[in-house]
Chain A
Amino acid sequence: KAGVTQTPRYLIKTRGQQVTLSCSPISGHRSVSWYQQTPGQGLQFLFEYFSETQRNKGNFPGRFSGRQFSNSRSEMNVSTLELGDSALYLCASSYSRPGQGEDTQYFGPGTRLTVL
C-alpha cells in the first residue's frame, strides 16, 4: 500500500508569510506526528494528532499549529514565518498512538521549506 505522502515537497516563502503543509498517512493509520529537522537542532517533535485531536505537543511557539481531519489527513500551519523556520518538515503515521506497543511510525519524504 502507498506510504506517507506530503505536499508540497518544496516551498519557498518570505518572512512574515504563512504556510500550510499537508500530510496523508498510510491507509488505516490514525496517528500523525509532525517533526522539524534542521542541521543545528536535528529532529524535533512538533505535535501528534490522533482521532482529530492533538495529543502531544513539543516545545514550539504558538505560530506552529496543526489539525487532523476525519480521514486522518493532517495539516500543519506556520504563521508569521521567520528565517529560522527554514527546515525539512516531516510527517509520520502509525496505526496507534506512538509508544503503544510495537506499532511503528513511518515517515513521509518531507517538505523542504525555505524562508527568505
Chain B
Amino acid sequence: LAKTTQPISMDSYEGQEVNITCSHNNIATNDYITWYQQFPSQGPRFIIQGYKTKVTNEVASLFIPADRKSSTLSLPRVSLSDTAVYYCLVLSYNTDKLIFGTGTRLQVFP
C-alpha cells in the first residue's frame, strides 16, 4: 500500500523556488507519482506526473531518484497565486484503495 508522507506546511516568498518532497517507501514497480494542487473548495488540479528521473512541464518539475522512494515537486519562481495545498499521490493498480497524503500547505508571501 503506497502511503505518502509530506511536510504539513511550507512558507516561501514570491520569486523563490519551492521544493516539496514526498516519501512513498512502499511504491510498487509500475506505480506512477502524481502531484495535484488544490485551492479551497475546489477540486484538485493536476500539476505533473512521473515514473522516474525528471519530468518538466510549463508549470513545474518533478524529480524522482533511482530508488523511487521519494519524489520532489519543484515550483520555479512562485507567486502569491501558488498559495494552495499540494498533494502527492501514488496510484497503485493493485491496492484495494487509493490514498492521498495529508498534503502540504504552501503559503507564499509578498
A binds B: yes
User: Using a CB–CB distance below 8 Å, which chain A residues touch chain B?
Assistant: 4, 6, 33, 35, 42-45, 48, 56-59, 88, 90, 92, 97-102, 104-110, 112
- At the interface, is chain B mostly helix, strand, loop or mixed? loop
Chain A hits for B30, CB < 8 A: 99, 101
Contact A98 B91 (CB under 8 A): yes
Bound Cα distance A56, B93 (Å): 10
Once the chains bind, are A56 and B43 in contact (CB under 8 Å)? no
> Which of A6, A33, A106 is most buried by chain B, counting CB atoms within 10 A of its CB?
A106
Please tell me if B45 contacts chain A, counting CB pairs below 8 Å: yes
Q: Which of B91, B92, B93 contacts A105 (CB 8 A)?
A: B91
Q: List, in ascending order, chain B residues with CB within 8 A of A90's CB.
A: 43-44
In the complex, what distance in Å separates the CA atom of A98 from the CA atom of B93? 6
Cross-interface CB contact of A107 among B41, B44, B99, cutoff 8 Å? B44
B49 adjacent to A102 (CB under 8 Å)? yes
Q: Residues of B contacting A105 with CB < 8 Å?
A: 34, 46, 91
Given contacts A100-B93, A107-B44, A107-B45, A42 and B98 within 8 Å (CB-CB): no
Q: List 25 A-B contacts (CB under 8 A).
A: A6-B43, A42-B100, A43-B87, A43-B100, A45-B100, A48-B98, A58-B97, A58-B98, A97-B93, A98-B91, A98-B98, A99-B30, A99-B32, A101-B32, A102-B32, A104-B34, A104-B46, A105-B91, A106-B46, A107-B44, A109-B42, A110-B41, A110-B42, A110-B43, A112-B41
Q: B32, A33: Cβ atoms under 8 Å?
A: no
Task: Judge whether B49 and A56 touch: CB under 8 Å.
Answer: no
A99's closest neighbor in chain B, by CB?
A: B93
